[in-house]
Structure 1
Amino acid sequence: MKPNNPFLIAGYHSPEFFCDRETETSAILDALHNGRNVTLIAPRRMGKTGLIRHAFYRLKEQEPDIVTFYMDIYSTQSMGDFVRLFANTVLGKLDTAPQKALNRIGQFIRSCRPVFTIDEQTGVPQVTIDVAPQEEESTLKEIFDYLGSSEKRCYIAIDEFQQIAEYPEKGIEALLRSYIQFLPNVNFIFAGSKQHLMQEMFTSSKRPFYQSTQLLTIGPIDRESYACFAAGYFAEHGVQLPREVFDAVYDKFDGHTWYIQCLLNRLYGYNRDVDTE
């Protein structure tokens, strides 16, 4: 179902409602398709989550049998939080047949008791786990073993990845790196909004993830492309969006995608020509 308003401020629909980022998308697709992990750095509200969703959409077009996962760890405060979110994100999603999915989970997840429910609409098992603190590391390893057991190629995006540096437990980066490097069927996008921290994690020779990924930094969407995208949708709506208005919006928010989308969404919803006065 198409959205009523083409200027989305949450979620991702399809390439039709995604503006530009062709160079960045191509770079991500090329890296992942060829087995390279990606570090994606962008300020908050610049559109990195939408870019990840768009790249995954394009990957699915090229390779329909792949499995993609997205998890935002911004709100996690500890390794336990990470393990629970990771488990809830991936467990049960590698097999289309519910019984096969349950059997595979039971084969690998031994350190805790998963709770299974079945999504009534999709039939896909939904799994939640409660991990005791002393079992967190074991469960994390089991989840990676579960991923590695799949015959499908998997792509996992971990957003706000710099958050793991804030966990009270020591050695989380080294632990994750030790598991990730031995998963030939799984590639990762490590996305983050704190540029200094992300750069330090992936370019310092003292850190476990040193030179383990392809680094990609994104800025604002190209002004010309964005202006054409916006004016086109206003014109389809029978409404005029003067270029000087778009430029004023773009400059007001320094090209930050989310804020621009919010204002364009409102202007589009008014359903009348935008006055330049």
Structure 2
Amino acid sequence: MQPSEISKIKNPFKFGSIIDGDNFCNRVEELRIIKQYVFDNYSFWLYSPRRFGKSSLIKRAFEEIEGTKTIFIDLYNVKSLYDFAKKYSEILSENLFDWKHELKAISKNLSKYFTNLHPIVTLNAEGFPSMTIEKKQIDNQIDIEQLLNMPEFFAKDKGIKICIAFDEFQEIERIDPFIINWMRTAFQNHKNVSYIFLGSKQSLMHSIFASTNSPFYEFAVKMDLSEISEKDLRKFIKEKFKKSNISINNDTITEILEKSELHPHFTQYFASVVFDLLRYGEDENEKYFNQGWMNKIINSQSIIFQTIYDQLSSNQRRVLTAIAIIDNDVALFADSTRREYELPISSSISVTLGALIKKSLIYKTTDNKYKVDNPVLKEWLRQLNYGLLS
């Protein structure tokens, strides 16, 4: 294949954004469960590590759901209580009202659902009508609860069902310490609206939904999101390479899947790097090919990892390194492990694990094992421990 032809071959792997279309791999069972929950009007919460595909999964489910109005809001960049009220009201208005009708009629409907807030109709950045609420109107619990109750009022009035997904829901307590109480007060009375709560910080999500002191304790069903099967990811990679007329052998795919630990984001990321190397003539049968592409990825992020590592305490460094190196079947608290990695006493290990989870550097799996959140960081830690970093 000539260089000019190679340059026209688009890398087929997508990562770092919402995955859709034929870039979406499997999740058949999870989609079935989500659609059933929504149909049954159940609220549920879902934790998974960052970039594990939960947002893409929910958006894919929303595309396939019929008979229920679905709404998605990301809380990650919401700055304050007013910012939440403003963005939430705008998203609700964009999704629930038919802006093809006369604006005067729409304004009348807005007043019907927001009796005290007096929302105003404006043009958004694209030039389309939208709704917003002035800051001076958001000053107490009653104002927020009225906004939170608006979807239920609308659904009841129109005789429809609504499902609202809050992405990065662990941010809610940062936005305002009281809003979570107001949400529970409102949501528990909703008969026509169900809610999905997505989060990527394990300790915060468990604090919100699994702590007996939390307003959201036992409010929603917990849904687990596991890795995509090795078989499905292997097939996915093979088909992507085949469609691009680039060959890849099974050993290379195995290496990608082992290094990514079946993490959806990192599987596509690693496969994209391998794809680039192969389409420009690298020999995957060369002895150090697999270590070469992994080193390329590690080197691109080494400064970031070094900064993170430098900010950790000695105990945190040792425990994190041990998790990155030891076999999953080896107990972290075993005397042999503690001696080999100079780990502190068991009580200190537990405290350290909690701190590392809060920093989103590790997470606890459903079978109570600890894993490094980022497979690239894991490889960096292993190389650091063995003195292999360049």
* TM-score, structure 2 normalization: 0.61
Quick check: 1:206 aligned with 2:232?
no
Matches within 5 A, 1:87-236: 87-96=89-98, 97-99=100-102, 100-109=105-114, 110-117=116-123, 125-132=129-136, 134-135=138-139, 137-148=141-152, 149-150=154-155, 151=158, 152-167=160-175, 169-236=176-243
Structure 1 unaligned blocks of 5 or more: none
In the alignment, residue 165 of structure 1 is paired with which amino acid? E
Between the aligned partners of 1:275 and 1:214, the Cα distance in structure 2 is 49
Q: SS at 1:36's partner residue? A: coil
Q: Which has the larger radius of gyration?
A: 2
Q: Is the 8 A contact 2:145 2:183 kept in 1?
A: no
In the alignment, what sits opposite 1:23?
A: 29
Q: Is the 8 A contact 2:148 2:183 kept in 1?
A: no
Distance change >3 Å, CA 125–CA 186, structure 1 → 2:
farther
Distance change >3 Å, CA 141–CA 268, structure 1 → 2:
same
Between the aligned partners of 1:158 and 1:186, the Cα distance in structure 2 is 13
Q: Is the 8 A contact 2:117 2:133 kept in 1?
A: no
Between the aligned partners of 1:48 and 1:13, the Cα distance in structure 2 is 12
Between the aligned partners of 2:247 and 2:169, the Cα distance in structure 1 is 41
Between the aligned partners of 2:267 and 2:135, the Cα distance in structure 1 is 41
In the alignment, residue 81 of structure 1 is paired with which amino acid? D
Q: Is the 8 A contact 1:93 1:101 kept in 2?
A: no
Q: Is the 8 A contact 1:37 1:189 kept in 2?
A: yes
Structure with the bigger RCO (C-alpha within 8 Å, sep 6+) is: 1
- Deviation, 1:20, is 1.3
Between the aligned partners of 1:269 and 1:147, the Cα distance in structure 2 is 47
Match of 1:57 among 63, 67, 74: 63
1:140-193 Cα offsets, whole Å, 9 max, x none, are 3333343122323211110111111224x4432221011112222211110001
Distance change >3 Å, CA 80–CA 220, structure 1 → 2:
same
Distance change >3 Å, CA 48–CA 8, structure 1 → 2:
same
Distance change >3 Å, CA 120–CA 86, structure 1 → 2:
closer
Between the aligned partners of 1:179 and 1:43, the Cα distance in structure 2 is 29
In the alignment, what sits opposite 1:46?
A: 52
Q: SS at 2:96's partner residue? A: coil
In the alignment, residue 223 of structure 2 is paired with which amino acid? L
Compare the two structures and name the one with the higher helix fraction: 2
Q: SS at 1:205's partner residue? A: coil
In the alignment, residue 87 of structure 2 is paired with which amino acid? L
Structure 2 unaligned blocks of 5 or more: 1-9, 287-390
Q: Is the 8 A contact 2:111 2:119 kept in 1?
A: no
- Deviation, 1:133, is 7.1
Between the aligned partners of 2:14 and 2:42, the Cα distance in structure 1 is 30
Distance change >3 Å, CA 119–CA 76, structure 1 → 2:
closer
In the alignment, residue 106 of structure 1 is paired with which amino acid? S
Match of 2:266 among 256, 259, 265: 259
Q: Is the 8 A contact 2:85 2:133 kept in 1?
A: no
Distance change >3 Å, CA 112–CA 266, structure 1 → 2:
farther
- Deviation, 1:275, is 3.8
Match of 1:70 among 69, 72, 82: 72
Between the aligned partners of 1:233 and 1:30, the Cα distance in structure 2 is 31
Between the aligned partners of 1:274 and 1:137, the Cα distance in structure 2 is 62
* TM-score, structure 1 normalization: 0.84
Distance change >3 Å, CA 139–CA 244, structure 1 → 2:
farther
Between the aligned partners of 1:54 and 1:268, the Cα distance in structure 2 is 26
Q: SS at 1:25's partner residue? A: helix
